[in-house]
Amino acid sequence: MAGAERGRKRNGEGTIFQRSSDGMWVGAAYVHTSAGEIKRRRVYASTFEGVRTKLLKLQADDQAGIPAPDQRWTVAEYLERWLAQVQEEKRATTHRGYESAARLHIVPLLGAKRLDRLTGADVRQFLTRLRAKCLCCANGYDKHRDEEDRCCSVGRCCGRHPSVRQVQYVHAVLRNALGNAWREELVSRNVAQLVKVPTPRYKVGKGLTVAQVRTLLDAAKDTRWHSAYVVTATLGLRRGELLGLRWRDIDLDAGTVDIAQTVQRVQGRLLVESTKTEASEATIPLPKVTRKALEAQREQQEKERIDARECWRDHDLVFCTQIGTPVEPRALNRDFDKVRARAGLPGVRLHDLRHTVVTLLLNLGVPPHIVQAIARHADVDVTMSIYAHPDLDAMRRAMESIAWEEDL
């Protein structure tokens, strides 16, 4: 009798009944959906109180103007649709990163789940499994290696787990996707926001000393890329920004340069795009040494244009191939590898020249907000926490400035 009484419809509860097939309790009520229609929606639980709680929440959301999701997407289905939207609205490099995170990590572990039934517990379990999985095993990374270097495909798991930064990025992609689903009223809340992930501790290059920079530039003298390394070492440009620099963005008379575009390789294609953020687009002053290097580059390029004749393809790029086309970014890295070997600095990266500019300016006492503008960081915290590295001599001078009384 008690079960029968519980199965009856009560005022304000919609319909509650127990399925005879499996004993599951079912609640149903008419609510507004995200399509603007009124439809009958069901909720399920193993107990009467559980289904009653869910049904009351469904009706409370309806009263509060929160529509019930109208389409029953799986996570994989929605990610496919969302990524198509990202491809139209975002930069190609952004879409590439999102697509990779979804294909390699999110879809294999969460793809079959219903989007509107995803919970914070599901996301926590997903992140736990993501941290524990071996990337080589899961993604077949070692299939492209030489036979002697293979591990997981021949039964020797290398245990290469995702880094803290990689886990954070995958979580951010899922959070962005669910945030878009919430704005489209396909889910009632973004459950990924309920789950916190650790913040990675970044390994930061300390940049080079002035003497090391001079050694590198000396090693690059009389080479085709000497001017490019001078520009990087004095302006702190990113690799893509250096290769995307145009003559129309440079005013040698006024001594300024506009950073407006970048060259990137994305999914096998060489793309010229706008810079990654609004903060990256900036006008910065040109030091005299940089102007001199750019003048030398213009003379060299004019000679190459004459030699190329009808093969020249003008893209207005400051640093281009010998026929005027955009440079493959990895080609610049290969040239830099030779330069650093000649300079006797095997551990130095091209990006360390960017670190050097920021660190040097801060050590010279330039205000952080000015350094931020020159480096084109979106936030001054990035400038101070990631790129600022007080050297040992500066710290020693600071400590020695403390004057103690002799009798203490």
pLDDT at residue 402, as a whole number: 56
**How many whole angstroms separate alpha carbon 134 and alpha carbon 131?**
8
pLDDT at residue 43, as a whole number: 84
Matching residue, tokens 């798991």? 157
Q: Dump pLDDT digits (tens) for 346-380.
A: 888 888 888 777 777 766 666 666 666 666 665 55
**How many whole angstroms separate alpha carbon 272 and alpha carbon 102?**
25
Topology agreement, domain 75-194 and domain 212-347: no
Show me where the domains of the chain are located.
Answer: 2-63, 75-194, 212-347
Which architecture, in CATH terms, is 75-194? Orthogonal Bundle (1.10)
**How many whole angstroms separate alpha carbon 71 and alpha carbon 102?**
21
pLDDT at residue 172, as a whole number: 94
Residues of the chain short of pLDDT 50, as ranges, are 1-6, 12, 279, 407-408
DSSP structure class, residue 33: B
pLDDT at residue 2, as a whole number: 44
Q: Where are the beta strands (DSSP E) in 131-281?
A: 250-251, 256-259, 261-266, 269-274
pLDDT at residue 310, as a whole number: 92
Structure tokens at 389: 């590295």
Kind of pairing between the strands at 250-251 and 282-285: unpaired
212-347 adopts what CATH topology?
A: hpI Integrase; Chain A (1.10.443)
Q: Dump pLDDT digits (tens) for 225-282.
A: 999 999 988 888 888 889 999 999 999 888 888 888 888 887 677 777 776 555 456 6
**How many whole angstroms separate alpha carbon 288 and alpha carbon 201?**
37
Q: Write 184-188 long-range contacts (CB < 8 A, 24+).
A: 184/34, 185/34, 185/67, 185/69, 185/70, 186/34, 186/69, 186/70, 186/71, 186/73, 186/78, 186/115, 186/116, 187/69, 187/115, 187/116, 187/118, 188/61, 188/66, 188/68, 188/69, 188/116
pLDDT at residue 203, as a whole number: 56
